[in-house]
């Protein structure tokens, strides 16, 4: 097991999802999985300790114009994983 100092967002996200999905309704779990799939290309290989406000700002800029509901779902998922 990798130490938490080198834990990537992808690893943390999978741990988080495996922990919380059992308490979710199917639709909620699918929505969170979809949000994670959108977040992983940007944050996946980044060590959690290196995720900063600047990293998040770059993700927001890269996200571009998307539906507010989609953005909010992804942002809420990002916050939940990092919390």
Q: What is the pLDDT of residues 26-38, one digit of tens each?
A: 999 999 999 999 9
pLDDT the model gives residue 52: 94
Measured CA to CA in angstroms, residue 50 lies from 5, 7, 47 at distances of: 10, 10, 5
What average pLDDT is seen over the chain?
A: 91
pTM given for the model: 0.86
């Amino acid at each position: 097991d990798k130490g938490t100092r080198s834990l990537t967002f992808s690893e943390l996200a999978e741990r988080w999802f495996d922990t919380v999905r059992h308490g979710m309704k199917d639709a909620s779990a699918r929505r969170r999985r979809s949000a994670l799939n959108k977040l992983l290309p940007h944050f996946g290989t980044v060590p959690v300790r290196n995720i900063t406000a600047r990293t998040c700002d770059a993700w927001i800029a890269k996200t571009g114009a998307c539906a507010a509901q989609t953005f909010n779902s992804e942002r809420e998922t990002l916050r939940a994983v990092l919390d």
